[in-house]
Amino acid sequence: MNKQLISCVKLFFLKELNTEPLLISSPGRINLIGEHTDYNKGLVFPASIDKYIISGFAKNEKNYCRIFALDLDESFDIDLDKLTKFGLGSWKNYVIGVLWGIKEKGLPLRNFDLVFSGNIPIGAGISSSAAVENSIVFGLNELFDLGLTKDEMLHISVQAEHNFAGVKCGIMDQFTNLNGSKGNALFLNCNDMSFEEIPIVLNDTQLLLINTNVKHQLSASPFNIRKKECSSGYKVLKKKFPELVSLSDASLAQLEVVKDELPDITYNRCKFVIQENNRVKLAKTAIKNKDWNRLGDLLFESHFGLKELYEVSCEELDFLVDLARNNKVLGSRMMGGGFGGCTINLIKKDEVDVFVSNAAEKYQLKFGKSISAYPVNISGGIQLIQ
């Protein structure tokens, strides 16, 4: 947990609101492999990381709620009886969406103050939105003793993303935030939410995120279109193979049977999802065997599919992945929804500094802007700060 963030939020409460807050630590997440498979009810391999949103909560005696986003230097008031959506892309929608979900369950929500600050880069594909959403529902559950289960909190946060942020995401981000385990990645089945904790013992190897600083806004991108394309492909497959539970459940052989019935774009989207789902299974074996070279190969394969078949990459992401391949990084791929954000890299620890320096110089020359590099470690999930 970040002590500086905790102190920042606590100090604001004490100085500006004259009260002691209930504090929540809510982590970001990485996804080792398994991109765009979550909303196709497939397999993913995420983990919570040591980047956080720290949120403070306190009841108030006013007739409205006060919300303060310290990093943005923005605040607003909310009337719990008049919850309305803000414009597309506003961070305020995450707050409104969660409050709406809690009220829909008929729970005794009263007026409160919320202050949050974090070091999760916004728009980098590390799930800052899920960290905020979960911190709100988790914190209010503690503050007002609402009795919500993790599954209920998950549903409220996902629906906030769908209905208020406008992103038709899967469950992976919110689930990982709620269930993360220090030192373990989650081999997660997004169909039935069953999961296995897989220890990640990297020793002389490091997970490194490199942020393109191209901020994606998924609600305004082709993200939701990809979901529709996958859904249409699955409907064709389901007619031919009624036993299929989801697109991720299909085989490449089954996809070839219906290829002539699908537009080329839909075929490519389906092919990527099926291949990616298989890569997650192979990655599990590689991690258990500590075969980091094999895992690295799978990361490169994943990026190729995301670029060529799923078409959610961008020039900056491709440049960084190509640079990683040419600098003997074990593996690299774009991570998150796409169209910007971060690459995730598997690299020897003693090569991190040289690679980051080289990447920063060449990226600046190519695009005229800077990258940001974040070595990350696997942390636990959301928790109350005692």
CATH number at residue 357: 3.30.70.890
Average pLDDT for 68-82: 95
Q: Are residues 322 and 358 located together in one domain of the fold?
A: yes
Q: Are residues 127 and 253 located together in one domain of the fold?
A: no
Q: Are residues 42 and 190 located together in one domain of the fold?
A: yes
* Strands 46-59 vs 112-118: parallel, antiparallel or unpaired: antiparallel
Q: Are residues 60 and 163 located together in one domain of the fold?
A: yes
**224-266 pLDDT, tens digit each:** 899 999 999 999 999 999 999 999 999 999 999 999 999 999 9
Q: Are residues 345 and 213 located together in one domain of the fold?
A: yes
Supply angle C-alpha 216, 220, 226, rounded to 5: 90
Q: Active-site residue 173, yes or no?
A: yes
For 93, residues 6+ apart whose C-beta sits below 8 A from its C-beta are 85, 86, 160, 164, 165, 166
Q: Are residues 301 and 322 located together in one domain of the fold?
A: yes
Which listed residue (173, 264, 297, 318) is catalytic? 173
Q: Is the pLDDT of residue 106 over 60?
A: yes
Q: Are residues 160 and 234 located together in one domain of the fold?
A: no
Q: Are residues 157 and 240 located together in one domain of the fold?
A: no
221, 314 contact by CB (below 8 A): no
Q: Are residues 260 and 290 located together in one domain of the fold?
A: yes
Q: How far apart are CA 172 and CA 127, in angstroms?
A: 10
* Strands 74-78 vs 372-376: parallel, antiparallel or unpaired: unpaired
Q: Are residues 123 and 212 located together in one domain of the fold?
A: no
121, 128 contact by CB (below 8 A): yes
CATH of the domain at 129: 3.30.230.10
**207-229 pLDDT, tens digit each:** 999 999 987 655 546 778 999 99
E-assigned strand segments in the chain: 22-31, 43-44, 46-59, 65-69, 74-78, 112-118, 184-189, 195-199, 205-211, 331-335, 342-348, 372-376, 383-385
For residue 95, the enclosing domain spans: 3-198+380-385
**179-216 pLDDT, tens digit each:** 999 999 999 999 999 999 999 999 999 999 999 998 76
Q: Are residues 182 and 223 located together in one domain of the fold?
A: no
Amino acid 218: pLDDT = 54
Amino acid 166: pLDDT = 74
Q: How far apart are CA 188 and CA 280, in angstroms?
A: 10
Residue 377: φ, ψ to 5°: -120, 155
Report how far Cα 281 is from the mean position of its chain's Cα atoms: 20
Q: How far apart are CA 254 and CA 346, in angstroms?
A: 33
Angle between helices 150-160 and 172-179 (to 10 degrees): 140
Q: Are residues 130 and 186 located together in one domain of the fold?
A: yes
Residue 210: φ, ψ to 5°: -120, 120
Q: Give the predicted TM-score (pTM) of the model.
A: 0.91
Q: How many domains does the chain have?
A: 2
